[in-house]
Amino acid sequence: MEEVFRNPLLMFHKSDFPGRRDTEPWMVHIAEADWTQGHYQILHRHEDFSEIFILLEGNGKYTIGGRLYELQQGDVVLCNQGVMHDEFPAKCDSYRTLAVGIAGLYIPELKPGLLIDPSCTPVLRRSEQTEELKELCAMMAKYAAAGGTRNLRFTHKLLLAVVELLRTIVRSVEVSSKEIDPLCVSVEQYLNEHFGENVTLEETAKQFFVSSWHLSRVFKKETSYNFKQYLLRLRLGEAQMRLSSTEDSIAEISRDCGFHDPAYFTRMFTRYIGLSPRCYRKMRLKSH
């Protein structure tokens, strides 16, 4: 498995795009990938950029901000910066995705950095316009991979076209009808901030003056995760991010992410991601 890496991740800085104006957004990363064998990025968030996710082939489930959505081929997910999201591919012959990270966004109708109003449903069903969006993003992937001044200049122009097309698409998106229980929102925020500590269901329930039974029931109902599953996926997602973007040792990452037994961390990481932490880091570094 180590010899074949089918998950290319191209990462950029705003200075990489010639001719880009200071007021314009820029592409942080683009990744066109076949995840049939695993290795996808589980529960995580991006603090500094938003992300467009397109399901090119296959189907599965996706959670965004605590809500669960069923995805089919051709669907587009708009994930705002700072929002937790997670992916559950269905077991199928093919599961291919295209993801584009965008920083420096300023869409007049929205707060800076956002792709879509937080009150709206973030999943766009397949349509003529989303097909056009997919084609533009695929072209960006092609020219970004080619590199060079001319190609990156063209990549940036395509990104501007993508943002403008999204402005048109999201004007017709419906407001979500589902409200998340305030207790669940508070608990998610607490876990997002304390996942590296020795967090338990019982101690967390005490923090919010409720019973463990009540917290467990509400959390499962609202998020589709049980408490331990959410915490484990959150820790593994953070570990993936650290393995991809830092030179920290695996032992250090294991400890900081709440795994105080490195051997247990390696077992869980390998079970959920499909590669050991060492092989996963090698894969991501190879694709940069």
User: pLDDT tens digits, residue range 88-100?
Assistant: 887 766 888 999 9
Q: How far, in Å, CA of 243 to CA of 238, rounded?
A: 9
Q: How far, in Å, CA of 133 to CA of 53, rounded?
A: 11
Based on the number of CB atoms within 10 Å of its own CB, is 87 exposed (0-12), middle (13-18) or buried (19 or more)?
buried
- Structure token pair of residue 113: 């950095």
Q: Is residue 272 within 8 Å of residue 280, measured between CB atoms?
A: no
- List, in order of start, the domains of the chain with CATH numbers: 10-170 (2.60.120.280), 182-287 (1.10.10.60)
User: pLDDT tens digits, residue range 108-162?
Assistant: 888 999 999 988 889 999 999 999 999 999 999 999 999 999 999 999 999 999 9
- Identity of residue 114: L
Cα-atom radius of gyration of the chain, to the nearest Å?
A: 19
Q: Reply yes or no on whether the pLDDT at 34 is more than 90.
A: no
**Which is it for the CA torsion 118, 171, 46, 279, positive or negative?**
positive
* pLDDT value of residue 8: 63
Contacts with 213 (C-beta within 8 Å, 6 or more apart), sequence order: none
* pLDDT value of residue 179: 72
| Mean residue pLDDT across the chain | 88
Buried b (16+ CB within 10 A) or exposed e, 199-230: bebeebbeeeebeeeebbebbeebbbbebeeb
CA 39 to chain centre: 13
Using DSSP's 3-state secondary structure scheme, residue 87 falls into strand
Given its phi and psi angles, is residue 225 left (phi above 0), alpha (psi -120 to 50 degrees) or beta?
beta
Q: How far, in Å, CA of 68 to CA of 86, rounded?
A: 9
- Structure token pair of residue 193: 């901030």
* pLDDT value of residue 284: 73
- Structure token pair of residue 88: 């559950």
Of 206, 228, 203, nearest in space to 43 by CA = 228
User: pLDDT tens digits, residue range 234-250?
Assistant: 999 999 989 988 889 99
Q: Reply yes or no on whether the pLDDT at 2 is more than 50.
A: no
Q: Reply yes or no on whether the pLDDT at 3 is more than 80.
A: no
DSSP class of 125: P
Mean pLDDT of 268-287: 84
